[in-house]
Amino acid sequence: MFKGSIVALITPFKNNKLDEEKYISLIHHHISSGTKGLVPAGTTGESPTLNNNEHKKVIEIAIKESKGKIPVIAGTGSNSTEEAVELSKHAEKSGANGLLIVTPYYNKPTQEGLYQHYKLINDKVGIPIIIYNIPPRSVVDMSVDTMARLFELKNIVGVKDATADLNRVDEQLKKMGPEFIQLSGEDGTALEFNIRGGTGCISVSANVAAKLCAEFQEASLAKNNSNLLSKAKEINNKLMPLHKALFIESNPSPVKYAASLLNLSSEEVRLPLVKITEKTKQEVRKALKFADLI
């Protein structure tokens, strides 16, 4: 259903407003570059500082412009269950193919609280839901047992795993089986993630290396083909400095700077994020050159 290189879309700004022209251009760039899915209004899309209307608009535009060519997994998570339900219902009505819903941040819910949060959203919509488990940002970590309980519900189909613990791939595969979609949330560990049983990556780097990320995912998912696996390793080595450079400072400031060098977006971010330092810019430029992107 959802596999390969799926981009965690940045949201281009111009004078602190959504730059629709650049955003639409970015979407078509991904379609033509082989990207297998779009995630608008996620963390990389600066969802915490998008107002409600903007949040809905970036999802609507992604759906409209993709024209069904590639799936749209709308970022509709919130630490307010009521708000997550409202955003999720809007995304479904707008034509989204799926939802990416982050574990509630700041509230620090228990495992039962996590279960009830996702269950209520599940009960209010009729499209697939991907759990976004990212303890470094949300503080809470959904256990494999809680995930297994949720997988029994009609719409819960998988996880975007940003725990950076590769053993979780094995644990989740053993507990839920191969039908449970496992997408990496960490570009740097995506190769090993796929080798262990993952089916793709919701990628930050794909914003600026769409074609390379698509080729990498396609090759890394061909597990029984040694030639393609060698190609995946080669591309991975080429992209590794970029994966690292894009997280020297808080995401998405570095990737927006990288995108500005490729004329894909301005480097503008919203407070409390700020533009990256000159030192980080040098590292980003160096990584883009290493990957033959500039």
> Can you give the pLDDT of all 294 residues of the chain as single tens digits?
899 999 999 999 999 999 999 999 999 999 999 999 999 999 999 999 999 999 999 999 999 999 999 999 999 999 999 999 999 999 999 999 999 999 999 999 999 999 999 999 999 999 999 999 999 999 999 999 999 999 999 999 999 999 999 999 999 999 999 999 999 999 999 999 999 999 999 999 999 999 999 999 999 999 778 899 999 999 999 999 999 999 999 999 999 999 999 999 999 999 999 999 999 999 999 999 999 999
CA–CA gap between residue 255 and residue 251 (Å, rounded): 7
Q: Does residue 294 belong to any structural domain of this protein?
A: no
The pLDDT score that the predictor gives to residue 173 is 98
CA–CA gap between residue 86 and residue 125 (Å, rounded): 10
Q: Pick the catalytic residue: 132, 256, 257, 281? A: 132
Q: Does residue 271 belong to any structural domain of this protein?
A: no
Q: Amino acid identity, residue 38?
A: L
Q: Does residue 245 belong to any structural domain of this protein?
A: no
Q: Does residue 89 belong to any structural domain of this protein?
A: yes
Q: Pick the catalytic residue: 160, 256, 257, 281? A: 160
Q: Does residue 59 belong to any structural domain of this protein?
A: yes
Contact indicator for 92, 126 with CB cutoff of 8 Å: yes
The pLDDT score that the predictor gives to residue 251 is 97
The pLDDT score that the predictor gives to residue 225 is 86
The pLDDT score that the predictor gives to residue 226 is 86
Contact indicator for 153, 124 with CB cutoff of 8 Å: no
The pLDDT score that the predictor gives to residue 224 is 79
Q: Does residue 172 belong to any structural domain of this protein?
A: yes
Q: Does residue 138 belong to any structural domain of this protein?
A: yes
Greatest alpha-carbon span in the chain: 49
Contact indicator for 214, 252 with CB cutoff of 8 Å: no
Q: Does residue 93 belong to any structural domain of this protein?
A: yes
**Sign of the C-alpha dihedral computed for residues 13, 76, 138 and 10 taken in this order:** negative
Contact indicator for 251, 274 with CB cutoff of 8 Å: no
Joined tokens for residue 188: 């740097």
CA–CA gap between residue 83 and residue 85 (Å, rounded): 5
Contact indicator for 41, 50 with CB cutoff of 8 Å: yes
Joined tokens for residue 16: 């602190």
The pLDDT score that the predictor gives to residue 283 is 98
Its domain, for residue 64, covers: 4-223
The pLDDT score that the predictor gives to residue 1 is 83
E strands along 2-128, which residues?
4-8, 13-14, 17-18, 37-39, 73-75, 98-102
> Catalytic: 160?
yes
Question: Bridge partners of 5?
Answer: 201
Number of domains in the chain: 1
> Catalytic: 119?
no
> Which has the closest alpha carbon to 74: 101, 109, 114, 49?
101
CA–CA gap between residue 57 and residue 120 (Å, rounded): 24
CATH of the domain at 156: 3.20.20.70
pTM of the model: 0.97
Contact indicator for 204, 255 with CB cutoff of 8 Å: yes
